[in-house]
Amino acid sequence: MTRGGRTKTRDEAERRCIATGETQPKAGLIRFVIGPEGQVVPDILERLPGRGIWVSADAEALELAIKKKLFSRGAKMQVTVPDDLRAQVDTVLTRRLTDLIALSRKGGYAVAGFEKVKGWLAEGRAKVLLQASDGSERGKTKLWTPEGGRFFGCLTAQELGLAFGRQSVIHGALAAGGLTPRVVEEAAKLQGLRKAIGGTAAGKEKTDA
């Protein structure tokens, strides 16, 4: 069992977090690289060249890595940590997550709106419930986490709206299959960094979709 409560599988690539010292599957960590001018750069897509430096997708772990200058230790050289590194990670992760939800919507795997989401939940079609962090708690408690599924409340109504091509969205749901596993992975990272707290009825985490 990993720090984030995920069960490891034998074929998952693992990396060591420079802040916690724990080794865990890459899915629960964020990769950073050192840019050409010696600055720390977040590599959310894990495609940038260079030696990767890994930090758990957790606000406290990232804060510790910055305060204790652990990036320099991990890189084995003096590096520069941008003052807005946390904001950079948040921005890129948010964009990645909203893009994945948008693609899921286009593929027919995601819906938005209270009635549509409630319908998917009632039919057992929904495997992931998404609710805006700044939405009405009263409204959010009228929906529930899918049995054996997941709940995430880390995006704002405006951010969810961007994912669904609207000005704002409070309730969203994803079906199993398609890009849903990747949405779950990225949402878990953003939720860990934002330490989002969901509504009472939907706030309990379940197993992966």
Are 45 and 57 within 8 A, CB to CB?
no
Assess whether 78 and 93 both reside in one domain. no
Contacts (Cβ under 8 Å, ≥6 apart) of 130: 101, 151, 152, 153, 155, 160, 171, 172, 173, 174, 187
51-60, 115-124, 152-161, 200-209, range with the lowest pLDDT: 200-209
9-13, 74-78, 143-147, range with the lowest pLDDT: 9-13
Per the domain annotation, does 3 fall within a domain? no
Checking if the pLDDT of 17 tops 90, the result is yes
Query: pLDDT band at residue 109, thresholds of 50, 70 and 90?
Result: very high
Assess whether 37 and 58 both reside in one domain. yes
Residue-level pLDDT at 197: 38
How many domains would you assign to the chain?
2
Assess whether 102 and 58 both reside in one domain. no
Residue-level pLDDT at 196: 43
| Cα 134 to Cα 132: distance, rounded to the nearest angstrom | 5
Assess whether 159 and 92 both reside in one domain. yes
Query: pLDDT band at residue 133, thresholds of 50, 70 and 90?
Result: very high
Per the domain annotation, does 5 fall within a domain? no
Degrees, nearest 5: CA angle 134-55-152:
25
116-120, 135-139, 149-153, 194-198, range with the lowest pLDDT: 194-198
Assess whether 141 and 56 both reside in one domain. no
Assess whether 75 and 131 both reside in one domain. no
Q: What is the pLDDT averaged over residues 14-34?
A: 97
| Domain of residue 147, residue span | 88-194
Assess whether 76 and 96 both reside in one domain. no
Domain limit, last residue, from 83, 103, 134:
83
| Cα 67 to Cα 177: distance, rounded to the nearest angstrom | 40
Residue 61 sits in a domain of what CATH number?
A: 3.30.1230.10
Assess whether 40 and 126 both reside in one domain. no
Domain limit, last residue, from 29, 49, 83:
83
pLDDT tens for 51-72 read: 999 999 999 999 999 999 999 9
Per the domain annotation, does 6 fall within a domain? no
Assess whether 38 and 96 both reside in one domain. no
Residue 157 sits in a domain of what CATH number?
A: 3.30.1330.30
Assess whether 134 and 53 both reside in one domain. no
